[in-house]
Amino acid sequence: MIDNLSLAISHGLMLLAAFLLLKRPDLDVEDDGKDGVKIAAEKRRKLLRKGRERA
């Protein structure tokens, strides 16, 4: 009984995650990736600054 319940819960959560990921509006947007690199670099710098401020 517990095995079936755990399988049902885990598979249900995976289905929910897949549904939510497929429903995202930015999933259908294609760009060249250059802006993504800039944004990632900015986020990385912000995280490094926060880490230095805490230390």
pLDDT digits (tens, 9 = 90+) for 12-53: 999 999 999 998 877 766 666 666 777 777 877 887 887 777
Q: Is the pLDDT of residue 55 over 60?
A: no
Retrieve residue 15's tokens: 């289905």
- CA distances (Å), 54 to each of 24, 26, 41, 44, 49, in order? 34, 33, 20, 16, 9
What pTM does this model have?
0.48
Q: Residue 44: its pLDDT value, please? A: 77
Reported confidence tier of residue 54, pLDDT bands at 50, 70, 90? low
Query: 19 is in which domain, residue-wise?
Result: 2-54
Q: Residue 50: its pLDDT value, please? A: 75
Number of domains forming the structure of the chain? 1
| Residue partners of 4: CB distance under 8 A and separation at least 6 | none
Q: Residue 38: its pLDDT value, please? A: 76
Q: Residue 45: its pLDDT value, please? A: 82
